[in-house]
Structure 1
């Protein structure tokens, strides 16, 4: 009898699973395929080839892939490698509460690349990958100007509070906040443009909006009011650094592949106006595949005319962690992070840290998120290059997710830390 087991069959997307098969001919080439449909019914799929052992078994924790989408021993490789059947799509789960991702795993007795109708799997399994654990509550937020969704862990709290932001795609992305709440944080997924009654496009920014969000979270009865954390990527990371530089409510900050200065759009905070460093559109790079590389489109913040745009991060109340992908092809994020670290050292701020990930691309997300090296963005005419290499990026997402949680737990003050 041929068998295929996946354990656990129901899990959070950031949890690893164990995949094993048995009852196959010894020393036989087989194929394992994974596929799913996103919320619009679009297919993402991956495949890997394996050689069964002398007992006709494979165990992805010990058996190396001999080909397909990746090589070597990578137990979660099939999940990392999920790619869109239609080019330039990015897998984003919007309805995190209503349903999981249903991942289909299929075992074939021969090496297939794209199964035809005649290719029938020997055995298959469907598993559930959730973005939220049981008991987590989602609260739609429309408080004053603040728009977003607050995810609360089960229990009375108080919990460590975190504001979570994404970048230039706009709208509201909730998948990281729901996972953070599943790990014990009260996480506010914060929108700042292209959502509900917020501006349709990213224009000049008002730090008072983010201050209002920070104060709302601090005042929430289930959140420890001693200070909050902020985690953000891309343009959101730029705003996160501004929050840490000026807002006393921010006790810890994680900037994922961001900058050290205000870019493009001006930032105001009361009477303070921070000019945005103009983008250099003449430096946009077109690839032979018809995609855009933006990594050189930001000007050097060290230039004399841009000094007023650099964030005074030395004024930040708490620690700052820069998580940087070394193969980021959207921002020169390593350069910006090193500049931020140099400024911190210049002014004697000792709690600014830099963690780099060789081979990782711009979209550094929780583990279980498929590697996305290029995708269409709603505000650009061509798909954007994000960069990275599959295996290095998958490993970086696993490492950075653990480091993210450790840093937030260590850095956000809470008088009842044992609740976590």
Structure 2
């Protein structure tokens, strides 16, 4: 009898699943198919071909995929190689507390599966649940003063290390990373800063006083461990995170994912002082063969001698920095930006930084096992984010562990790491 097993059948979205098939003919060729629908009914799917061993078994922790959406031994390849049926869709969990993504795993005889034709009946199937919050994690809607967001707390009395979670220039509120951080012991505030609730619909300026309010709100919570907090930030959020780390003593650890070391487009303002940004050079914006927009070369060269005045003065910060770079980022020259920031630190005798630079990884480096999103709609623009499927997946798996280690090291000094 053919069986498909996936263990565990219910787990956090950043936890691995062990997939096996038994009861096959010796050396039989089979196809594993994974699929899920997001909360908007968008379909994401993947497939990979395997050959059973002499005992009629396939073990994804041991056996290589021979073709399909990836090749080689990749136990979680069916998850991170998923592609959207609707082009330019990004997999993003909306309700992170009450419902998981349900991934349907199916096993087919390779002869029964023909692309672009109706699927034959699977030989076996299994559904697995991928949750974004561990049991006991709580979510509280935050509407405190000007602050808008969602606070996630781990179960227990704490106190827990505090983290502000910031995403990029698409606006709104993304909660999936903050809820996973809370699942691993961090008090996490997913912070919106435009395009959400009663916040401005567009980002006209970066008001650092707003972000200081959020930092103080988080630090004042009785379950948050002081004296400082961390930031995990991506793209525009990483620009803001760097600026916060420079101006706010509350920030002691900053994770900056594919961000700039300069202000771009919107000015920053702090206590009435305005810091101007670099405008986008529209003539340098390019598109690929599919018409997706690439901004990578549209900021000129902020590192050049004549442009030094636009660089954020990172050397003034007392925080520790973790730079995470996707070398195949098509939105920013993230590697040059991180290296420029590190050069500034080193020229002032500082060593408060770590750099993780990943060849083949794109702009949207997310918690592990998330599918690569190489392009999607952002602010009504078809954006090219970049990345290659396997290197990007490896970058996400490695960096997600390193982010947690880094935050624990600098927010809970002297305490043993749980990783």
SS in 2 for 1:40: coil
Task: Tell me the distance in 1 between the aligned counterparts of 2:364 and 2:355.
Answer: 17
Q: After superposition, where does 1:220-231 map in structure 2 within 5 Å?
A: 220-231=221-232
Q: Secondary structure at the match of 2:226?
A: coil
> 1:327-382: per-residue Cα shift (whole Å, max 9, x none)?
111111001000000000011121122110111110100012111111111342xx
Q: Deviations over 1:196-255 (max 9, x none)?
A: 111101211111011000011111110012100001000000000000011010010010
Task: State the alpha-carbon separation in 2 of the partners of residues 365 and 113 from structure 1.
Answer: 32
Taking structure 2 as the reference length, what is the TM-score of the superposition? 0.97
Counterpart in 1 of 2:37? 37
Q: Distance in 1 between matches of 2:57 and 2:295?
A: 46
* 1:394 aligned partner: 393
**Preserved contact between residue 408 and residue 417 of structure 2 (Cα < 8 Å):** no
Q: Which residue of 2 aligns with 1:250?
A: 251
The residue that corresponds to 1:411 in the other structure is: 410
Deviation beyond 2 Å, 4+ runs, structure 1? 111-118, 302-309, 413-420
Q: Which residue of 1 aligns with 2:67?
A: 67
After superposition, residues 160-239 of structure 1 pair within 5 angstroms as 160-239=161-240
Flag structure 1 segments of 5+ consecutive residues without an equivalent. Answer: none
Deviations 1:114-155 (A, max 9, x none): 474451100110110000000000011111111100000000
Listed as ranges, the matches of 1:115-126 within 5 Å are 116-117=117-118, 119-126=120-127
| Cα deviation, residue 308, structure 1 | 3.3
Separation in 2, partners of 1:95, 1:268: 33
In structure 2, what is the Cα distance between the partners aligned to 1:372 and 1:210?
28
Give the gaps of 5 or more residues in structure 2: none
Shift of residue 71, structure 1, vs aligned partner: 0.6
Give the deviation of 1:304 after TM superposition.
Answer: 5.6
Alignment CA distance shift 1:376-1:275 (3 Å): same
User: 1:139: which partner in 2?
Assistant: 140
Task: Provide the rounded CA distance (Å) in 1 between the counterparts of 2:72 and 2:418.
Answer: 40
Distance 1:153 1:113, change over 3 A: farther
Equivalences, count: 418
Q: Deviations over 1:19-77 (max 9, x none)?
A: 00010111111100000000011110000000111111100011111101011110100
2:350 and 2:405 map into 1 onto residues whose CA distance is 21
| 2:107 aligned partner | 107
Contact 1:66 1:72 survives alignment (8 Å): yes
> What's the Cα RMSD here?
1.5
Deviations along 1:93-129, whole A, 9 cap, x unmatched?
0110120000000000125254744511001101100
Supply the distance in 1 between the matched residues of 2:58 and 2:19 (Cα, whole angstroms): 8
- Is residue 226–residue 413 contact of structure 1 (8 Å, CA) maintained in 2? no
Give, in angstroms, the shift of residue 164 of structure 1.
Answer: 0.3
* Residue of structure 2 equivalent to 1:317: 318
Structure 2 CA distance for partners of 1:217 and 1:414, relative to 1, 3 Å: farther
* Paired residues of 1:250 and 1:318 also in contact (CA < 8 A): yes
**1:371 matched to which residue of 2?**
372
Kindly indicate whether residue 55 of structure 2 is the aligned counterpart of residue 55 of structure 1. yes
Counterpart Cα distance in 1 of 2:66 and 2:414? 51
The yes-or-no answer on 1:262 pairing with 2:263 is yes
> Offset at 1:301?
1.5
